[in-house]
Amino acid sequence: MGCFFSKRRKADKESRPENEEERPKQYSWDQREKMVGKGFFLVQTKEVSMKAEDAQRVFREKAPDFLPLLNKGPVIALEFNGDGAVEVCQLIVNEIFNGTKMFVSESKETASGDVDSFYNFADIQMGI
């Protein structure tokens, strides 16, 4: 199961109160704790920059939703494992991050492919 999101770019930080930049990271850390507290395991995380063509390969038909975010900062992925992880992640994202563009696997059947697509891309980027 994968959850992906984009960080704010530095220029956005300059126009916001100093402590506001910390909120997205804190929320994501709190939600990670919420997932782990429910018996799920955080398997891996990665942070990589993406171009439009990269997003097309990784996010496929959902890529157009994320293209405007790519210039705002790197994409961060969290992979959780456990029974019902996809469904719980969907609930948490809808509850906490409602209105924020995030990618969550649609089902446990597609989750493995989603995770493989992102982490294969990330591994290639790390080797460049």
- The domain spanning residue 82 has which CATH number? 3.30.70.141
**Neighbour count for residue 37 (Cβ, 10 Å):** 8
Residues 99, 103, 104, 105, Cα dihedral to 10°: 140
**Residue 56 CB: number of other CB atoms within 10 A?**
16
Q: Give residue 73's domain range.
A: 2-127
97 or 124: whose pLDDT is higher? 124
Angle at 100 between CA 117 and CA 60, to 5 degrees: 25
Residue pLDDT, tens place only, 41-51: 888 888 899 99
Nearest residue to 105 via CA among 64, 67, 58:
58
pTM of the model: 0.69
Number of folded domains in the chain?
A: 1
Per-residue pLDDT tens digits for 12-46? 444 444 444 444 444 455 555 666 667 788 888 88
* pLDDT, tens digit, 9 for 90 and up, residues 43-102: 888 889 999 999 999 989 989 988 988 888 888 888 888 888 899 888 888 888 777 788
